[in-house]
Amino acid sequence: MHRFFIFLYYLISKNKLLSVFFSVGIAILCLFFASKINFEEDINQIIPKNEKSDLTAKVLKQLNFSDKIIVIIENRSKEENFQLSETADAFLNQIEPLQKYIGSVQGKVNDSEISETFDFVNQNLALFLNENDYKEIERKLQKDSIAKQVENNYVSLVSPTSLVTKEFIKKDPLGITFLGIKKLNALNISKDFKLEDNYIVTKDGKNLLLFIDPKNKSNDTKNNETFVNQLNTIKENLNTKFKEKTEISYFGSPVIAVANAQQIKKDIQNTVIISMTVLLLILIYYFRNVFTPIIVFLPTVFSVLLALLILYFVKDKISAISLSVGAILIGITIDYALHILTHYKHNNNIEELYKEITQPIILSSATTAVSFLCLVFVRSEALKDLGLFAAITVILSSVTALIIVPQLYHPKKKEKAVNANFIDKIGSYPYEKNKPLIIICSIIIIACLFGFRKVGFNEDIGDLNYIPKDLKISEAKLQKLSDITSKSIYTISYGDSEEQALTRNSELSQFLEKEKKEGKILSYNSLGNVVLSEKDQQQRIENWKKFWDENKKNQTVSELIKNGNQFGFNSSAFDQFNENLNKSYSTLTLKDYEKVKALQISEFLSQENGFYTVSNVVKVDEKKRDAFIKNVEKKHDALA
């Protein structure tokens, strides 16, 4: 093995200028391809995966709740009648140029959306009613109940709000539609808010919330970074404009993901710079010159560039977390150059030098590289990339050190005697002869054998995230306002077709309702009673037909007309209601539900490459959490 390096040494020595150009050319080539590498900045890449977690990752990739940015507009004004909507309007105007990053903005409800939702439920009423609703309708159909309802309708129509209520009463004089609309409450993530000036505000009116749904997923930090930076600029401008009136802050996983990505890059840069600076200072102090430490670092720099070149052709993208090992690699890889340099210092014969050090250095780097390569067999993508990058760098650093160091370092034949420094003294001290030190070390080792079992590990995967101080403040604000940021359990039904996913979710929704009644969960939000499978829709249509027989229809309309005449209603006032009773209902498709903007179906239901997921949000007591998760996954085709 050493003969090859001896041959290379003489070859390079005879062609120094050509070798320099060749080395610079390789370095430029490596830098070019290294700049083309697609670095993945997703912190979740460090999480191990198995068959179940692969399915979990596939499901979570389609989970839309977690990708929102929550905008908090807080009232800081001393004026009693200050409107938060003024700041909200200004904010919405400011983000208009950012539409290429924004899928939608929720939090402002238009009157047209309210009418649209009412009409949708009214026109498909049979699909929104369950057995309990029919019991309530039966009560409403009593003669005295109809008389009372018609009287209430008359009072509403002659009041100042008649412009709003007129159309609702005309379409549904008995208010049956509102029984169906109640089902939409199951889609509300929180009940701690109200509508004011068409915006969602807290019940005390002091905070207004907007929800931005970015077009890019939260782990797409490359595109989201520009978006988040521009949002921060808008926030600062509006906070200055509305100083002492309102304050805007943000919270959400896309913002946290960008903060994580920026912190990862910053940490890598800082650790590498700090380690290189400290090592350079130590080496300069030890060797008493600047040139020698630079020689020591050259093989490491070259091996890192070559490793990145190889990785470019081996992998499509690399986890940025894998580069965090850079500071450690510097410490490991400069050892090879130091070994060569130290041996060369005491043995000026180049052939003897290679005979002595080639095999030990190659074997040493090989064993270290194999240790890192073991990470390739773990199920964490980030650790796989780290292991591959570190192994390639280590093995290449030993080879480049054997080539570069003997070429650039030439020890003087007669070294001047120099005073030993503290590093020499530390290195030359006979530790093995110090009995008190041996006893102390032995005691520490024995103590560790008894104590290592008591070491605890943080099992909260959320602590992987780096959350800046301003985002922690925003999170604390939200926690005071609502349970919207509290830890929820997502129960997700999935399937290879829309029908399969919806059928499974209907079963899961019934289970969640049962768990809530038994007090095993606190609350849940689900599509289960709103978007039904075709089979369940057909069943509800049959229930409607069974309930509304011809006799009941005629009797109900007759009672409405009779009581309406007493208040001056003409006979045609109830024609539209009569049409709804006699219409032939049909099943709806997912596209029909998605047309109604206020339903926000896309928040719960997602589809990608023929894989469908339906999400539910469950709030459960911490003590009952594990039992609930096991119960869901055991009894249903769902993930929790």
Task: DSSP for 81-94, please give it.
Answer: T--HHHHHHHHHHH
pLDDT at 117 over 60: yes
pLDDT, averaged across the chain:
80
Phi–psi pair at 129, nearest 5 degrees: -110, 140
Torsion of CA 83, 87, 89, 95, to 10 degrees: -170
Q: Tokens for 588?
A: 């709806």
Least reliable range by pLDDT among 110-119, 181-190, 333-342, 537-546: 181-190
Mean pLDDT score, 514-539: 80
Task: Give the percent of the chain with pLDDT over 90.
Answer: 3
Residues 6+ apart with CB under 8 A from 153: 169, 173
> 330-344, 382-396, 481-495, 586-600: which has the minimum mean pLDDT?
481-495
pLDDT value for 526:
76
Residue 412 vs residue 137, higher pLDDT? 137
CB-based contacts of 449, cutoff 8 Å, min separation 6: none
| 402: pLDDT strictly greater than 70 | yes
Assess contact for 336 and 401: CB atoms under 8 A: yes
Residue 240 has pLDDT above 50, yes or no: yes
**In angstroms, rounded to a whole number, what is the distance separating the alpha carbons of residues 106 and 598?**
9
Type of residue found at 425: K
Residue-wise pLDDT for 31-88, tens only, equals: 898 888 877 766 555 555 554 445 555 555 555 556 788 888 888 877 766 778 888 8
Considering only residues 440 and 521, tell me which one the structure prediction assigns the higher pLDDT: 440
Euclidean distance between CA atoms 456 and 479, whole angstroms: 28
Q: Is the pLDDT of residue 16 over 50?
A: yes
Percent over 70 (pLDDT), the chain: 87
Average pLDDT of the residues in 83-97: 87
Q: Alpha carbon of 311 to those of 307, 317, 378, 463, 612: distances in Å? A: 6, 9, 18, 30, 35
Question: CB of 57 within 8 A of CB of 602?
Answer: no
Q: Tell me: pLDDT of 94 over 60.
A: yes
Q: Are 393 and 333 in contact (CB under 8 A)?
A: yes
The model's pLDDT over 595-633, given as tens digits with 9 standing for 90+, comes to 777 677 777 777 777 788 887 778 877 777 778 888 877
Q: Give the residue from 497, 484, 483, 489 showing the smallest Cα distance to 605.
A: 497
pLDDT band at 416 (very low <50, low <70, confident <90, very high): low
Higher pLDDT, 498 or 12: 12
**3-class secondary-structure state, position 214:** strand
- Measured distance CA(302)–CA(404) in Å, rounded: 10
Cα–Cα distances in angstroms (integers) from residue 461 to residues 276, 314, 437, 465, 617, in the given order = 32, 30, 41, 8, 19
Tokens of 464: 């992987």
CA angle 178, 183, 189 (to 5 degrees): 125
The residue-averaged pLDDT of 571-599 equals 80
Contact 105, 212 (CB under 8 A): yes
Mean pLDDT check: name the lowest of 301-315, 469-483, 535-549: 469-483
Q: Torsion over CA of 22, 24, 27 and 33, rounded to 10 degrees?
A: -80
- Return the exposure string of 516-534: e unless at least 16 CB atoms fall within 10 Å of the residue's CB, then b: beeeebebbbbbbbbbbbe
**Is pLDDT at 277 greater than 80 in this prediction?**
yes
CA distance 177 to 183: 10
Question: How many Cα atoms within 13 Å fall on the side-chain side of residue 351?
Answer: 3
pLDDT digits (tens, 9 = 90+) for 329-376: 787 888 888 888 888 777 778 888 888 888 989 998 899 899 888 888
Contacts of 504 (CB under 8 A, 6+ apart): 493, 494, 495, 614, 636, 637, 638
- Which residue do the tokens 């005697």 mark? 417
pLDDT of residue 557: 83
Is residue 368 classed as helix, strand or coil in its secondary structure? Answer: helix
Give the pLDDT of residue 208. Answer: 87
pLDDT reported for residue 51: 46
Pairwise CA distance, residues 459 & 581, whole Å = 57
Per mean pLDDT, which of 192-196, 394-398, 405-409 is the most reliable? 394-398
Global pTM?
0.68
Q: What is the DSSP letter of 4?
A: H
pLDDT at 461 over 80: no
One DSSP character per residue, 238-276 reads HHHHTTTTEEEEEESHHHHHHHHHHHHHHHHHHHHHHHH
Q: What is the pLDDT of residue 487?
A: 60
Domains of the chain as residue ranges with CATH: 2-36+289-416 (1.20.1640.10)
Residues 259-275 have pLDDT tens digits of 887 887 788 888 888 88
Residue 308 reports pLDDT greater than 60: yes
Spatial distance between the Cα atoms of 26 and 154, rounded to a whole number of angstroms: 88
Condensed to tens digits (0 to 9), the pLDDT of residues 188-206 reads 655 566 777 778 787 777 8
Q: Report the pLDDT value the prediction gives residue 405, as an integer from 0 to 100.
A: 87
**Mean pLDDT, range 551-568, rounded to an integer:** 83
| Number of Cα atoms under 13 Å in the Cβ half of residue 286 | 18
Q: Averaged over 154-171, what is the pLDDT?
A: 69
Radius of gyration of the chain (CA): 36
Kindly indicate the confidence band of residue 443, based on its pLDDT and cuts at 50, 70 and 90. Answer: very high
